[in-house]
């Protein structure tokens, strides 16, 4: 249940540089192999009054499957790959300011399933407690889903989509100003150590916001 809603800018902007440092400390310093982390930022849609979780920032580390799929060539179908590459080319020219630089491997190499899942996440938002991130924010409690079978039967479309793209663990932890989501292609069981690390790293205060 993800919905694209035109929201007014959120009241606070988090400094993306410090967010990246937090992601890096969380993911690169972990024993577990997390594939990505996302900070969903909460805001209120002024027109409707709906609470909204939208893209704040993300960190994509990748996984072993990325390397294997590129090497062995067992990635998504040719048509799907062409679609992904076309989108990536358009996005690349968009962030490059429409420059006419020649195509390079960054947009010509295969876009793996987990890369695509991460990219698509940038377009998603969650209204009034919808989806796993929204439920975590609404309840104030972490949600930890370990196992492809559990993701598959989730009521949340995003969780089911995650399973289709090869993810086996999805975690959403409410923090100040939003929700931190972690995903992995590995099976990772709930641990207080990880939960505490997320809460510690993402306990924002006013001086850390732009």
Partner 1 sequence: DGDLPHARRISLRRFLEKRKERLTAAVPYAS
- Interface residue list for partner 1 (CB under 8 A): 13, 16, 20, 41, 55-58, 60, 62, 66-67, 70-71, 88, 91-92, 94-95, 104-106, 109, 115, 118-119, 122
Query: Within 13 Å and on the Cβ side, how many CA atoms surround 100?
Result: 0
Tokens in use for 152? 């598959």
Q: How far is the CB of 123 from partner 1 (least distance, A)?
A: 8
- Helix 64-72 and helix 113-121, axial crossing angle in degrees, nearest 10: 120
Q: Indicate the residue among 14 and 144 with the shorter CB distance to partner 1.
A: 14
C-alpha distances in Å from residue 170, one per residue of 127, 133, 154, 194: 19, 10, 11, 13
Q: How far is the CB of 92 from partner 1 (least distance, A)?
A: 6
Q: Indicate the residue among 89 and 197 with the shorter CB distance to partner 1.
A: 89
Q: Indicate the residue among 119 and 195 with the shorter CB distance to partner 1.
A: 119
Q: Indicate the residue among 13 and 189 with the shorter CB distance to partner 1.
A: 13
Distance CA 37, CA 130 (A): 19
Q: How far is the CB of 73 from partner 1 (least distance, A)?
A: 9
By the 10 Å C-beta count (0-12 exposed, 13-18 middle, 19+ buried), 54 is classed as buried
CA proximity to 179, closest of 188, 170, 187: 170
Q: Indicate the residue among 67 and 86 with the shorter CB distance to partner 1.
A: 67
Q: Indicate the residue among 105 and 192 with the shorter CB distance to partner 1.
A: 105
Q: How far is the CB of 9 from partner 1 (least distance, A)?
A: 8
Q: How far is the CB of 191 from partner 1 (least distance, A)?
A: 27
Count of Cβ atoms closer than 10 Å to residue 104 Cβ? 9
Distance CA 169, CA 159 (A): 9
Q: How far is the CB of 78 from partner 1 (least distance, A)?
A: 18
């Amino acid at each position: 249940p993800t919905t694209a809603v035109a929201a007014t800018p959120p009241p606070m902007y988090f400094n993306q540089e410090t967010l990246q440092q937090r992601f890096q400390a969380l993911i690169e310093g972990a024993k577990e192999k997390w594939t990505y982390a996302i900070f969903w930022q909460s805001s209120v849609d002024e027109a409707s009054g709906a609470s909204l979780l939208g893209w704040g920032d993300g960190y994509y580390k990748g996984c072993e499957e990325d390397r294997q799929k590129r090497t062995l060539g067992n990635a998504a179908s040719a048509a799907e790959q062409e679609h992904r590459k076309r989108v990536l080319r358009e996005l690349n020219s968009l962030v490059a300011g429409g420059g006419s630089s020649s195509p390079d491997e960054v947009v010509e190499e295969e876009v793996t399933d987990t890369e695509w899942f991460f990219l698509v996440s940038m377009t998603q938002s969650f209204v009034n407690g919808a989806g796993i991130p929204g439920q975590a924010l609404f309840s104030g409690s972490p949600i930890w889903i370990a196992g492809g079978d559990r993701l598959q039967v989730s009521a949340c479309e995003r969780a089911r989509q995650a399973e289709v793209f090869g993810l086996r663990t999805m975690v959403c932890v409410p923090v100040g100003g939003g929700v931190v989501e972690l995903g992995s292609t590995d099976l990772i069981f709930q641990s207080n150590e990880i939960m505490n690390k997320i809460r510690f790293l993402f306990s924002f205060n006013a001086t850390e916001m732009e």
